[in-house]
Amino acid sequence: MGQTLTEKILEDHLVEGELETGEEIGIEIDQVLTQDTTGTLVWLQFEALDLDEVQTEIAAQYCDHQTYQFDFKNTDDHRFLRSAAGTFGAHFSRPGNGICHNVHKENFAAPGKTMLGSDSHTPTPGGLGELAIGAGGLDVAVAMGGGPYYIEMPEVVNVRLEGELPEWSTAKDVILEMLRRLSVKGGVGKIFEYTGPGVDTLSVPERTTITNMGTELGATTSIFPTDEKTEEYLAKQGRSEEFVDIGPDEDADYDDEIVVDLSEIEPLVAKPSMPDNVVPVREVAGESVDQVMIGSCTNGGYEDILPAAKMLKGREIDKKTEMIVAPGSKQASEILAREGWTAELMAAGVNFSEATCGACIGIGHVPASDSVSVRTFNRNFEGRSGIEDDSVFLSSPEVAAAAALKGELVDPRDLADELGDMDAPGFELPDQYDGSKADLIAPDEAVDDDLVKGPNIGDVPLKDPLDAHLEGEALLKMEDNITTDHIIPATQDILMYRSNVPKLSEFTLSRVDDTFAERALESDGGFLVAGENYGQGSSREHAALCPMYLGIQGVLAQSFARIHKANLFNFGLIPLTIDESDYANIEQGDDIEIVDDVAEAVQSGQEEFTVRVNDDWELTAELDASERERRILAAGGKLPLTKRQHEDEGGAAPADD
């Protein structure tokens, strides 16, 4: 039986385990990516592990999320990150150079390589045949030090693309269609491998829109085979020599198959406030729109802004609507400016932002109260835009531009009919992606060789080894699909404390219950209770680290999102799975006691735990963990475990376990 592309790349990088679905495997990592809001912890942990030099082929530190530097704390973070990249040997991308995924795609993404990144949209280069996975910062630090990355071998799903996209339908609509069909939980434990005749019809930027937003399905990653389109893209980026022809065998054996007929895809939107709340635009046409934004790592490329610019050229946006373009990279900005498109957009009434994540996490361009914002981003979780009760729709650039022109949601095909002279814009790749590289500092151009830490940059707190007896209050009971944006929001007022865990912890779960952090600190330990898919969204390890700092001992949930579950292990919090009826019966405030000797049971491989509630009734909770994860948990987390091993061995220990 032939191999899938995923199996081929994993086999090439396998250092432990077997490629059997559900088995834990260790893989070697070629490239590492970090960004400014997760990167500070990555480097602080790299330092705490006594690692002194990057071991991967490429490590790149981007400054992209908070580039407006409203507060010296943000600027100090960037200064620290430049010093860490210089000291340890990573590439450094200056603030304003662009979003990590866009700049990485332009400069480093390469077919057949593996990559780990401390950002959940790390899978983006899957569009060029790279197997790229998002992870918590500590896993990234270890990989950067040369240690393997461990993961449960996911199911590999064949997404067979047939036909060709009709005019006005885009790659964004393809991934929205996947979300409509599968939901934000539909990809958990899966890798989506795109195949079939439809692949040829999509350019690399379109493929990366799809792989980028595979994250919203909960997928481990998504990947495309390579072909002439990949070769052409790499050549235009001046990296022809990095092309490798890779794909699945003809008779590859997949765990599952989904067929998507591209010719049936129509313009779609995700309604507030979940990326899987997808409907055809026509179903919500007429909804008045106050703000339109084009940008983000999903649709902030030159190839995304160009169609909108073509639609807006010679026209003006509606008077009641504001429109902002925030390019994904300075390369995109520069090419658009040189080709004159920036001027056309400005003339149409559009404001231009620097290349940044910004508004995607509520930093800048926060929507007005009771207003509607249409964005080409990937997430519209409630409150993420910076205002509670927001109303954010996710769409393609074409749908966004149409909304700006009409001042309301409209299917661009209907707007074209109405206007009579607006053709489907499409886009062409530039002859050469010839933006300047001035903002990318290679390790041999480093300007620092020592760490520079501002006053807001603290140490990473360590937890003690797991106790035998765990008991405490169910401090908070939450519903399904709680995101890391609920646990540790990323808006500016909070984001500036990402390098200061004690301060950041004060905001833990404030979006669900603003008394939580105080109650957690006052109580001596305690538990979180949640429904399905707890911790979906971001890779931010702060969402595990801050509850740990507040004394939380574990989470009882119906199911967990992949990266967050790994982060819970990494910081010594026990993730226990409970069933629906037990979830329904636990009340906030109940006393939760794990009857077993927890430390002993975790280490001995015990899977079922007896939990006593209010000394009154019992339930069985499950711990689904590998031997390695159990060792980490018992030690109080990965950092204490690795440090202790390091001390025992009396030498450098980049390895994981």
Which chain residues interact with ligand SF4 by CB under 6 A?
Answer: 65, 99, 119, 121, 296-297, 357, 360-361, 377-378
d(CA 622, CA 200): 45
DSSP for 406-467, written as a single string? HSB---HHHHHHHHSS---------S------TTEE-GGG-S-SS----TT--PPP-PPPPP
In the complex, minimum distance from the CB of residue 38 to ligand SF4, in angstroms, rounded to a whole number = 10
Stretch that binds ligand MIC, among 106-114, 309-317, 401-409, 531-539 (CB under 6 A): 531-539
Closer Cβ to ligand MIC, 161 or 184, answer by number: 184
Q: Provide the sign of the torsion angle of the four alpha carbons 34, 276, 576, 592, taken in this order.
A: positive
Stretch that binds ligand MIC, among 77-85, 114-122, 336-344, 634-642 (CB under 6 A): 114-122
296 binds, among ligand SF4, ligand MIC, none (CB under 5 to 8 A by kind): ligand SF4
Half-sphere exposure of 542 (CA within 13 A, CB side): 32
539 touches ligand MIC (CB under 6 A): yes
In the complex, minimum distance from the CB of residue 376 to ligand MIC, in angstroms, rounded to a whole number = 14
37 touches ligand MIC (CB under 6 A): yes
User: In angstroms, what CA-CA distances link 282 with 268, 290, 423?
Assistant: 8, 18, 19
Helices 228-236 and 204-213 cross at an angle (nearest 10°) of 100
Stretch that binds ligand MIC, among 118-126, 368-376, 443-451, 582-590 (CB under 6 A): 118-126
65 touches ligand MIC (CB under 6 A): yes
In the complex, minimum distance from the CB of residue 276 to ligand SF4, in angstroms, rounded to a whole number = 16
CB 542 within 8 A of CB 514: no
99 binds, among ligand SF4, ligand MIC, none (CB under 5 to 8 A by kind): ligand SF4
Closer Cβ to ligand SF4, 69 or 288, answer by number: 69
In the complex, minimum distance from the CB of residue 120 to ligand MIC, in angstroms, rounded to a whole number = 3
In the complex, minimum distance from the CB of residue 384 to ligand SF4, in angstroms, rounded to a whole number = 9
Stretch that binds ligand MIC, among 237-245, 277-285, 342-350, 537-545 (CB under 6 A): 537-545
Give the residue from 157, 204, 202, 201 showing the smallest Cα distance to 178. 157
Helix (H, G, I), strand (E, B) or coil at 381: strand
d(CA 638, CA 54): 19
d(CA 152, CA 368): 43
From the list 4, 6, 31, 38, which residue makes contact with ligand MIC (rule: CB under 6 A)?
38
In the complex, minimum distance from the CB of residue 489 to ligand MIC, in angstroms, rounded to a whole number = 10
Residue ranges in 344-363 that form contacts with ligand MIC under rule CB under 6 A: 361
Residue type, 163: G
Closer Cβ to ligand MIC, 460 or 601, answer by number: 460
In the complex, minimum distance from the CB of residue 563 to ligand MIC, in angstroms, rounded to a whole number = 8
390 touches ligand MIC (CB under 6 A): no
Residue ranges in 185-204 that form contacts with ligand MIC under rule CB under 6 A: none
104 touches ligand MIC (CB under 6 A): no
Binding mask 486-515 for ligand MIC (x = CB under 6 A): ----x-------------------------
Query: What phi and psi, each to the nearest 5 degrees, are found at residue 107?
Result: -105, -30
Burial class (CB in 10 A: 0-12, 13-18, 19+), 429: middle
- What DSSP designation does 132 have? E
Binding mask 540-579 for ligand MIC (x = CB under 6 A): x---------------------------------------
Six-digit token string for 440: 């990318």
391 touches ligand MIC (CB under 6 A): no
537 touches ligand MIC (CB under 6 A): yes
538 touches ligand MIC (CB under 6 A): yes
d(CA 45, CA 126): 27
Stretch that binds ligand MIC, among 116-124, 195-203, 388-396, 612-620 (CB under 6 A): 116-124
In the complex, minimum distance from the CB of residue 219 to ligand SF4, in angstroms, rounded to a whole number = 15
Residue ranges in 120-179 that form contacts with ligand MIC under rule CB under 6 A: 120-121
Stretch that binds ligand MIC, among 9-17, 320-328, 535-543, 579-587 (CB under 6 A): 535-543
Closer Cβ to ligand MIC, 265 or 490, answer by number: 490
In the complex, minimum distance from the CB of residue 71 to ligand SF4, in angstroms, rounded to a whole number = 18
DSSP for 11-63, written as a single string? HHHEEES---TTSEEEE--SEEEE-HHHHHHHHHHHHHTT--S--SSEEEEE-
Give the residue from 433, 429, 427, 430 showing the smallest Cα distance to 165. 427
d(CA 414, CA 409): 11
Helix (H, G, I), strand (E, B) or coil at 309: helix
d(CA 560, CA 285): 35
Helices 171-182 and 204-213 cross at an angle (nearest 10°) of 30
In the complex, minimum distance from the CB of residue 620 to ligand SF4, in angstroms, rounded to a whole number = 37
Peptide bond into 273 cis (omega under 30): yes
Stretch that binds ligand MIC, among 89-97, 119-127, 191-199, 274-282 (CB under 6 A): 119-127
Q: Could you tell me the end-to-end alpha-carbon distance of the chain, in angstroms, rounded to an integer?
A: 34
Closer Cβ to ligand MIC, 31 or 37, answer by number: 37
Catalog residues that contact ligand MIC under the rule CB under 6 A.
37-38, 65, 119-121, 361, 490, 537-540
